[in-house]
Structure 1
Amino acid sequence: MNVYAFIIPIVLLLLIAEIIYCVWSKNGQYPFQDTITNIATGIANQCVNLAVAFFVYKWYGWLAQFIPWEIPNTWYFLLLLLLLQDFLFYWFHRVGHTINIFWAAHMPHHSSEELNLSVGIRASFTQRIFQFLFFDWVLVIVGYTPEAIYAMAAVHLLLAYWHHTTLIKKMGWFERYFVTPSHHRVHHGVNPQYIDKNFSEFLIIWDKLFGSFEKEKEEVCYGVTHPPRTWDPIFINFQYWKQLWDDAVAAPFWWDKFRLWFMPLGWRPRGLESEKKDRIGYTRAEQVKYVSNQFTNLKPYLIFQVGAGLVYLWIVVNLKFPLTAVDRVVMSIGIFMMIISWGGLMQARPWSIYLEMIRLLYMSVTCIVVLHANEMAELTGWEAIVALLTAGGSLLYLIFIVSKPELEPS
């Protein structure tokens, strides 16, 4: 069972509700390009979660066979599991802001210069595998089943999702014990006093106990100290990995090439210049947010494609469908082609028009072929007709309306 398939509808409903409110109130909380980038990253991340689930069930299942007891899934033991997982995640999260390789796995989530519910799904492709690989395996030793651990990780993720908003202000007594949007806004802040604070996701008491708590006072400036300045989800996800790799290649000493990955943030190998600053971070007044010109009439096109992409994603991740692992990989390739082309379109890259054409054809064909191969649709059925009409209409709009020499601001 893929638990993420159950939380996706809840996440989408909350996200759509906040978008509708923000558009209606014209508060500027959802810049188009950043929002599409967040959604694109979230869509691709669901495909990655399939591989993570396979890893968890296989490795944790192998590990569980050596544990001579098994904790039953009663409500009180599940509540204890939530608390244990919250405690482990606090330290995983804190390490993710401390050690280079863990920051590489976490940084993409912080790379948006906004904070809204769409940022909550701007999840790193590698963070979940790091969580299960390095931290949550302890819960198997305690006696919890792999299924319970994976399911609770999804619940924990959902409990942390609603924090990514600026619409909810202070919450009184609730803030003494639980993480609130005010706490999490501080965590996403790049203001000098906010950096590396408020790592908790459910109970704020961990930050108060271990000295990483900070109240929200000054207006929060969101982002990272080295913004990616692109809408390409692939670059966003691997920007810091590339920085580490470049330093490892350039390092004169072999020992430095290895230990670089496990050193604190800011450390650089001997022989390479370190960036010296009077302070780390910046305020909202000092921030210049990234925007780019894009192809004309792109907004309605991408809004429609997001809807179509979510339907395609639903087919890929729904484990009730009798698709093989190869089928899901083949269809996931189309999703990654899609998010790359979206990023290029929003930056008016000429190659993105051609990639978008190819991926429209690829996704429509793979959808029809895979569904037919698994006896879920006929080649001449309504599903095939809808897929072809969607691709055909999109191609016409792309060729005659979007791909013009004139550009427009976001």
Structure 2
Amino acid sequence: MSINVYAIATPFVIALALGEFVYCVARRNGYYSFQDSIASVGTAVLNQCVNVAVALLMLPLFTILGQLAPWKLDVASPWALLGLFLGVDFLFYWFHRFGHRTNIGWAAHSPHHSTEELNYAVALRASVTQRIFSFLFYWPLVIVGFSPEAVLAMVAFHLVLQFIPHTRVIPKLPRWIESWLNTPSHHRVHHARNAIYIDKNYAGFLIIWDKMFGTYADETEECSYGVTTPPNTWDPTVINFQFWAKLASDAVKTRSGWDRLRLWVMPTGWRPADLPAREETKWQREGQEVKFQSTELPNIRGYLVFQMIASMPFMLLVSHHASPLVGWQKVMLSVLFWGMATAWGGMMESKRWGLALEMARVFAMGGAVTLWLVQANAPLSWRALTVGWLAVTLVWISVARASNRSPAPVARGVS
């Protein structure tokens, strides 16, 4: 079962997201926001790279723990496979609950909730630090006898399944299904910031865990999505590390050594007593929901859509098991992806450095990937794809820069 589930599932995930997007555009239901979707996809590329890296780091640790198992459970048996799936689903509930109920857990998990929409692009926006915590919760399955490869593959498969409930398109299902499955309705509640929905429905696949442990809520009123203190930016660094920064700042500022230590594992929002209350941004104004929007650089939407699509095959150079790149090259490409997502965020907030960063990223990625593919004697189609992408991108950027420098036309009166 040592398969790369992330790489195999990527076409399915992309197809489902595109299908929902086309449906929403045709229905004009407003379920997709351009800026939010671009930010989510940019973060998704980063997270996919991290998923693979963390899995590779966890495999040696799980292998050592597996030597302590009193017996071996063969997932070729349907019952053992079912047991592994249920074990992952059960442990995910507690991992997810930890991610909402503790300061350090929320620091790792909150980027996934930072978006103010709910759709399949949102499902892709995950924290780059969360996956480390996730795998650390699944070690008991190795101890009881499942192979490390089987556990990591099942965790990945379970993660792919959780993509499906992230939608507003699917209404409530028949009661007999809603009673045991984590449906889109249940997961809409989980992503909502309405007071009655906060910290509810942590389930991954089976909603029965929430019903057993007192964290279940039914969808009874329209959901408002996001966190109660929105980041109000498209910058992936801020989105991923803003709560980490707040915790680190509290740890430095408090005079209590004990509070400095326990701050991290205290309930979400807890602060040392010697620190003043923190001013937070609000998501409502005069009782009405206010979603973050920004002014973009002119004429960038078509370019960003093109780059979003083009980023997918480059992402496979990091995540796919058959990638011709070696380890350090994948790390460098992941760093360039971070620059990509940061540049996109800057361009959507009318920051001129965003376009400069994007140009530097394009030159660096185009040159490096082309060189690496030639050195690896990769198929000619890959090299042609990279060169073609680079050429189209440079032409597009040149045209955009020229149009941005052009003076506005002077209005002339008609005599």
Among candidates 112, 132, 139, match of residue 109 of structure 1: 112
Equivalent in 250, 268, 272 of residue 269 of structure 1: 272
Aligned pairs, number: 403
Which of 375, 378, 384 does residue 376 from structure 1 map onto?
A: 378
**What are the within-5 Å matches in structure 2 for residues 23-172 of structure 1?**
23-73=25-75, 74-133=77-136, 135-172=137-174
Matches of 2:84 and 2:313, distance apart in 1: 33
Residue 192 of structure 1 aligns with an amino acid whose one-letter code is A
Cα separation, 1, equivalents of 2:407 and 2:205: 49
The question of whether the paired residues in 1 share the 8 Å contact of 2:370 and 2:383 is answered with no
| Aligned equivalent of 2:413 | none
Gaps of 5+ in 1: none
Q: Tell me: CA distance 1:388–1:281, structure 2 relative to 1, closer, same or farther (3 Å).
A: closer
Deviations 1:45-84 (A, max 9, x none): 0111121111121111121122242110122211111111
Per the normalisation by structure 1, the TM-score is 0.93
- In structure 2, the residue matched to 1:312 is 314
Q: Equivalent residues in 2 for 1:334-353 (5 A)?
A: 334-353=336-355
Q: Distance in 1 between matches of 2:291 and 2:85?
A: 37
Structure 1 pair 402–378 and aligned structure 2 pair: CA distance change class (3 A): farther
Q: Return the offset for 1:397.
A: 3.4
Unmatched tracts of structure 2, length 5 or more? 409-415
Moved more, 174-183 or 45-54: 45-54
**Alignment-mate amino acid for residue 224 of structure 2:** C
2:221 is the counterpart of 1:218: yes
In structure 2, C-alpha distance between the alignment counterparts of 1:380 and 1:33, rounded to whole Å: 30
CA distance in 2, matches of 1:87, 1:146: 18
Write the distance in 2 (CA, Å) between the matches of 1:108 and 1:403.
Answer: 36
Q: Percent identity?
A: 44
Cα distance in 2 for partners of 1:228, 1:104 equals 13
- The yes-or-no answer on 1:182 pairing with 2:185 is yes
**Contact 1:120 1:161 survives alignment (8 Å):** yes
Q: 1:401 to 1:149 in 2, by over 3 A?
A: farther
CA shift in 2, pair 1:20/1:384, >3 Å: closer
Tell me the distance in 1 between the aligned counterparts of 2:57 and 2:382.
Answer: 37
Deviation at 1:322, TM superposition (A): 3.3
Query: Which amino acid is the alignment partner of residue 122 of structure 1?
Result: R
CA distance in 2, matches of 1:243, 1:343: 21
What TM-score do the two structures reach when normalised by structure 2? Answer: 0.92
8 Å contact from structure 1 (residues 22, 29) kept in 2: yes
Q: Deviations over 1:313-343 (max 9, x none)?
A: 1222222123210111121121111001000
Partners of 1:226 and 1:179 in 2: CA distance: 26
Check whether the contact 1:189–1:221 (CA below 8 A) recurs between aligned residues. Answer: yes
Alpha-carbon distance in 2 for matches of 1:254, 1:132: 30
User: For 2:314 and 2:117, how far apart are their aligned partners in 1?
Assistant: 27
CA distance in 1, matches of 2:345, 2:283: 27
- Give the AA of the match of 1:197: K
Matches within 5 A, 1:1-40: 1-40=3-42
What displacement does 1:384 show? 5.5
From 395, 398, 407, give the equivalent of 2:397: 395
Report the Cα offset of residue 403 of structure 1. Answer: 6.7
When residues 19 and 78 of structure 1 are mapped into structure 2, their CA distance, relative to the original with a 3 A threshold, is same
1:114 touches 1:222 (CA, 8 Å); kept in 2? yes
Shift of 1:383: 4.5
Q: Does 1:367 align with 2:369?
A: yes
- Which residue of structure 1 aligns with residue 305 of structure 2? 303
The whole-number CA distance in structure 1 between the counterparts of 2:362 and 2:279 is 47
CA distance in 2, matches of 1:58, 1:312: 27
